[in-house]
Amino acid sequence: MLQYFLPNEYVKSVLDITPDELKQKGIKGIITDLDNTLVEWDRPAATPQLIKWFAEMKKHGIQIVIVSNNNENRVRAFAAPLEIPFIFAARKPMVRAFRQALREMNLKKEEAVVIGDQLLTDILGGNRLGMHTILVVPVAQTDGFWTRFNRKIERKLLEMMKRKGMVYWEE
């Protein structure tokens, strides 16, 4: 059961993920969370570094869809200026939104990765569908109410995974 919460990879930031690494794995698309994965949950727009990262992915033919549990206004305000497709109110870890993102990119699950900062939503959802998952360190130290609750559960899950030798990265 713990394997459903275990990401395939762990990186400090989405900016550490390169198009070359993805292409070597046969990846053609990214399904990414928004809040605390790409930017702080209370930051309305992309940073210059993130805009450059999006452009680099696009230049290498890697598609991106933002899949967020947040509301339409929040996700649209962030994604529309960047011309990035998005799915709001995704209800992660349910797999419907992940499947919708794959259809939108016209990709198979083996051709896309799921990137997110939460084990209980992003990683669990991607793993339930059998996708490659990448956990990132949250970009903000603060969280909304439900995310704070999730983080407590995540800490317990990580402790259990460490005891069982499943976690290979340092925090």
The domain spans of the chain are: 2-163
Question: Given this model, what pLDDT does residue 55 score?
Answer: 97
pTM above 0.85, yes or no: yes
Residue-level pLDDT at 170: 57
Given a contact cutoff of 8 angstroms between Cβ atoms, the answer to whether 133 and 31 are in contact is no
DSSP code string of 88-107: -S--TTSSHHHHHHHHHHT-
The size of the chain, in residues, is 171
Residue 80 token pair = 């529309």
Q: Provide the CATH number for the domain formed by 2-163 in this structure.
A: 3.40.50.1000
The rounded distance, in Å, linking the Cα atoms of 24 and 156 is 34
CA 91 vs. chain centroid, Å, equals 14
Query: What percent of the chain clears pLDDT 70, i.e. is strictly above it?
Result: 94
